[in-house]
Each structure stands twice: as C-alpha cells, then as structure tokens.
A = this chain, B = another copy of it.
C-alpha cells in the first residue's frame, strides 16, 4: 500500500529528529537519564545498552501528571548536583510527555542551561510533546504555567518502545495526531479515517507525518507568537477539564479529545465547521476509545477557569477553531461570553 502523505522538505526542519531504530549514543561527557518508575522496569536496560558516556547516572521519578511540579524539579536538580554534572553535561529524557517537559525544564535551569536529548516512550510524546521545546510544570493555578522555551539538541523516536504502551495511553497519543490532521491537513485526516494505525507499519508513517507537521509549525513560530497557537486546538477547553479534575481523572490526550469536541461545537455554532465533519472527528476519537463528552458541573466556574490559561492575555481568551472545515484553522479571541456559555451548556 502506498501511503498518501506529503513529507516536508528535510531542510525546512531545524530539529535533529531520528525516527526508527535507536542508534548507539556515544558521549564524552557526563550524562544523566531522567525516567520514571513505570518506564524504567520496562525499557531502561535497553536504553542503557545504547549509551556510552564518561559517567552515567539515572534519576527515576514517580510516574504521573500529579508529580509534574516544582518539588519534582528540585528533586531532579538535587540529584544532578549530587552527580556533579557540569555545564558540558547532557540530560536524556526517557519517558512520556511529563518526563520530557520536566527534563527539558531542568536542562534549561541547571547552571543556566545544559544540553538535553528527548527519547520519548509514549505515542503522545513521540508525535507531539518531544518536539518543539516547550518545557515546564503545572502549579495550583493551572497546567504548564511555569517553564521555559528550551530546545532539545536531538530527538530519537523509537516506535518499539510503544509495544508496552497500554491502549488507553495509545489513544491519548492518537488525540494529538487527530488534532494535527484536523487543523492542518484534510488529506492526512482522510488517510487516518481509512486505516487502523495500531498496525505497526502504518504507525511509523503516522508518527513521521505528525512530527513533520509539528516541526514545521514550531519552525515558523517557536515562541508561539502566531501559528504555533493552533497546536492548542482542544487545549483551551482541555486544560480547564484537566484543572477541574485535578489532572487525576483523564490523561492529557483524553482531556484534549474532549476539548476538541467542545472546540468543534463552538466552530459549528459559528458556522466554521459542518455538523457532519464535527461528527466525523468525534467518531474517529471514539474509534480509539477516547472519551469525547466531558460533563460540566458548573458552567460559570468552567468559564472563569479560561482566564488563567496562558493563552489568555489582557482578559481575552484565544480559541483555536476550524475556519471552514477539516484542514483549516483560525485563532479567535473575540468570542462573546454569551455564545461560549451557550456552547458550554450543551455539555452540562
């Protein structure tokens, strides 16, 4: 089967991204691997067999979004100081998005910045989080509110690490793939509709295409002054969902899936997306067992939560919407409160 995906010109991508068999990694400096207690028992031996370094240490943190906070950052940093890492040392993020975001953040902070490498082990981090240099932690005010823009020097994506990924987590990654397709590439969306990319050969192509779409956007707008914000499709709503459920009930990708359905509802309301297309997106999310309907307890409280989102500025909330159907996008910060409340009420 020929895969109908247009690939982006290599030269357009300034990130050093390798997809496929993990190569042997040789370092003539000190290296610390940051991983978590779920990934370590499954894959750490494999990783360590691929690394040669002057001095190698491993910092294992607890698995879970609830540990994505400053306390864990300080724990990791203390371990790096104890291991006497210096300005020429390298960190390796080995895990999902949480490990990647925190390792990158620590790399940005340690002695005002050392090199780091991403080796993502979840679908979500392989297709999205490991590329683009957004690092940081959550706090009581919301998600990723404290952090840095800090680019990895390399990203190694090894699909074999996904073999042990629970299907629920696989679905969470699928949500970000669908996000990319809905916003940027109708042909890719149609392709995704036509295949089951739990199939391995298909999966590698899907990862490649998603990473390329992501890298292309980040290339154009690293600091999210413009188009990069489109990657937050589903996230304006999703972050509120995660916040309301204290990051415990849903995986990030699951919250994004439900957030996309809300965003679509707003797009439909504004005449920017047809009901058919909206249904088609929701159907696809369901195919991968993603939750699509968040039940809002208190519409006004949900609405108030928007204003702490990073995407809100000068009391305006940015919504990422379709702009006439799948494969199109627009950033809108002029949505009337009354329209929003109306849309939110459909999820009560």
Q: Which residues of A contact B (CB under 8 A)?
A: 29-30, 54, 70, 74, 77, 81, 84, 86-88, 108-113, 134-136, 139, 141, 144-149, 223, 307-308, 310, 312-315
Contact = CB atoms under 8 A, between A and B. Distances in A.
A300 to B, nearest CB: 17
A81 B312 CA distance: 12
> Which among A30, A135, A148, A314 has the highest number of chain B CB atoms within 10 Å?
A314
A221 to B, nearest CB: 14
Contacts of A74: 70
Specify how many copies of this chain sit in the oligomer: 2
A147 B310 contact: no
Contact of A86 (B30, B54, B86, B312): B312
Contacts of A77: 139, 146
Contacts of A223: 113
B112 A148 contact: yes
Given A74-B70, A81-B139, A139-B81, A310 B149 contact: no
B108 A148 contact: yes
A306 B150 CA distance: 28
Nearest to A74: B70
A257 B345 CA distance: 66
A318 to B, nearest CB: 10
B148 A113 contact: yes
B111 A145 contact: yes
A134 B112 CA distance: 8
Contacts of A112: 134-136, 144, 147-149, 310
Given A139-B81, A308-B84, A109 B313 contact: no
27 contacts: A54-B314, A70-B74, A77-B139, A81-B141, A86-B310, A86-B312, A86-B313, A86-B314, A86-B315, A87-B310, A87-B313, A88-B313, A88-B314, A109-B147, A110-B146, A111-B145, A111-B146, A111-B310, A112-B136, A112-B147, A112-B148, A112-B149, A112-B310, A113-B148, A113-B149, A113-B223, A148-B148
Contacts of A111: 145-146, 310
Contacts of A145: 81, 110-111
Contacts of A86: 310, 312-315
Given A81-B308, A87-B310, A113-B148, 11 more contacts: A30-B314, A54-B314, A70-B70, A70-B74, A84-B307, A84-B308, A86-B313, A87-B313, A108-B148, A110-B145, A113-B223
